[in-house]
Amino acid sequence: MLLETTALTKHFGGLTAVSHVDMSIKEGQIVGLIGPNGAGKTTLINLISGFLRPTSGRITFDGHDITGKKPHLQARMGMGRTFQITPFFGEFSTFKNLVASFYLSSDRGLWGPIFNTPGYRRKEAAILKQAEENMELVGLGKVRDELAKNLPHGYQKVLDLAAALAINPKLLLLDEPIGGMSQDETDLALSAIRRVHAQGTTIMIVEHNISIVMSLCDHIIVINYGEKIAEGAPEEIRNNPEVIRAYFGGEYAA
C-alpha cells in the first residue's frame, strides 16, 4: 500500500470531523473521495498531508509512519496536494508560476542565486526544462505567457495542479480540482489529471460531480459525517443503498 490510515480521527472542539477512518490507496490507483458538504473530505486531506494533526489514529505513507509529520517533510517524501481555493502568483505568467513552484518546494533554493554557482546554474537549467514539461503535460502551453491573474478560473486551477507536480509526487491529493468550471475548462482539467495519472502519479481526488468521479476513478471512498460509509469500484458505489441515502436522504431509495 502506498497510503494507509488506521482509525484516523479529528475533533474540532466538540465536533468530530473525521471519525475512525481506515482507508488505503495502492500505487497506481486513482481514488475518488466523495461525500456531502461538510462530510470531512478536506479535513481528511489536511490530515493525510500533514496540514492538520490527527486527534488519534495512524497514517503510513510509502512504508513510513508519517502521523503528525509536518507538510514540508511529507512533501519531501513525495506527498503532493492542491487546495479547494487556488493559490498562485497573479502577477507572474503561467510559466513563471511553474518555475516558482520548484523554488518553493526546494529546501535550499535561495542560496544558489546569491552565489551564482555552477551547481546552481545547472540546477536552474534543469528547473526551466522541468517547468516547461509540466506545463505541456497539463495542456497550458497555449497560455504560457499570460499573467495568472488574467487566466480563466479553470486554467488557474490547472496551473495549481501543475505547480503541485514540482515535488514529483508519488501521491497527489486533489481537493475539488474541477470545482466551478465551464465545460471547456472541465475537459482541460480532466485530461490534465488523466495525463498526470498516466505518467505514474497515484491520485486521490475530491469531486462533487458523481458521474465525473465514476468515469475517472477505479476506486471510490464515500464518507458521511466523518465516517467511511462505503468503498469499492464505481459500479458497487452506484448501487450502494447507504450511499444513495447519504446523498438523497432516503427519498431516492424509497
Ligand X SMILES: Nc1ncnc2c1ncn2[C@@H]1O[C@H](COP(=O)(O)OP(=O)(O)OP(=O)(O)O)[C@@H](O)[C@H]1O
Which amino acid is residue 29, in one-letter code?
Q
Between residues 42 and 94, which has the closer beta carbon with respect to ligand X?
42
231 sits in which H/E element = strand 227-232
Rounded Cα distance, 199 and 205, in Å: 17
Between residues 51 and 103, which has the closer beta carbon with respect to ligand X?
51
Q: Residue 183 binds which entry of ligand X, Mg ion, none, with Cβ cut-offs from 5 to 8 Å by kind?
A: none
Using CB under 6 A, list all residues that contact ligand X: 12, 15, 17, 35, 37-43, 84
Which residue among 19, 29, 42, 74 contacts Mg ion (CB under 5 A)? 42
Distances (CA, A) of 156 to 10, 79, 93, 129: 31, 21, 11, 21
Between residues 43 and 94, which has the closer beta carbon with respect to ligand X?
43
Each residue 17-36 as x (binds Mg ion by CB under 5 A) or -, in order, gives --------------------
Provide DSSP, 188-222. Answer: HHHHHHHHHHHTT-EEEEE-S-HHHHHHH-SEEEE
**Shortest distance (Å) from residue 38 CB to ligand X:** 4
Q: Are 172 and 163 in contact (CB under 8 A)?
A: no
Q: Residue 101 binds which entry of Mg ion, ligand X, none, with Cβ cut-offs from 5 to 8 Å by kind?
A: none
Residue 152 has phi, psi (to 5 degrees) of -60, 155
**Shortest distance (Å) from residue 164 CB to ligand X:** 18
Task: Give the residues lining the site for Mg ion (CB under 5 A).
Answer: 41-42
